[in-house]
Amino acid sequence: MRKIQSFVRRSGRLTLGQKMGLTDFWKDYGVDLPKGKIDLDALFIKRQEVVLEVGFGNGDSLLKMAINMPDKNFLGIEVYEAGIGRLINEAHKCQLGNLKIIQADAVEVLTHHIENDSLVGFQLFFPDPWHKKKHHKRRIINTDFLGILSQKVRQGGRIHMATDWEHYATQMLDTLENHPHFKNTQNTPTYSPRPQYRPITKFERRGERLGHGVWDLIFTNEKRL
């Protein structure tokens, strides 16, 4: 049976900076996947708690978070070459030591290359909403994916998602609320205010100007309770 992908690999002309990020600076920020699990303690310069972000787009938000929180290590997964190259190039300019990038399918990485209980947090900001009803099956958030997350994120770890598509926000909320391993930080089945640590991107500001809403969901992993 063909695997249903939650993403489309986009390609296009790369800028010089993006090319440099993918080639010259990959050795410093890129992660070549091993056959087994990634040794997160050996991956980063400092041994710190690791936050994983999936689908970081052009990388603006993840870059700011890595800069603002030097006491945490950030691991980003993306398939979009231009975004990967741009983020690595910007990370090089800032000489960040707490950011690493993987170019691969997030589900495959989580399933085969991330140790259980190795993440303190997981982030998914503005994923592809696959807004047509016939494409809803491609949305990355479903019960099976949350089951994988519950294994990889440690007890008490935080799951933070955000979307500007209300229908997808409703689905995310329902799926999280009905999963036995996750607890809403709001202590009620509702959305969270945007925390200060999540930067507002140009994409989000543009949406706000157009009257789009944004919904944040923050849950903790309580799988052992």
For residue 45, what are the CA distances in angstroms to 42, 49, 69, 141, 196? 7, 12, 15, 32, 26
Three-state SS at 215:
strand
Q: Which of 28, 117, 128, 216 is catalytic?
A: 128
Distance CA(30)–CA(91), nearest Å, equals: 11
Distance CA(73)–CA(59), nearest Å, equals: 15
User: How many of the other CB atoms lie within 10 Å of CB of 212?
Assistant: 12
Q: List 102's β-bridge partners, or say none.
A: 77
216 is catalytic: no
Contacts 24+ apart (CB under 8 A), 71-74: 72/48, 72/98, 72/120, 73/40, 73/43, 73/44, 73/46, 73/48, 73/49, 73/98, 73/99, 73/100, 74/50, 74/98, 74/99, 74/100
Three-state SS at 163:
strand
Running DSSP on this structure, what letter comes out for residue 168? Answer: H
Active site residues per annotation? 128
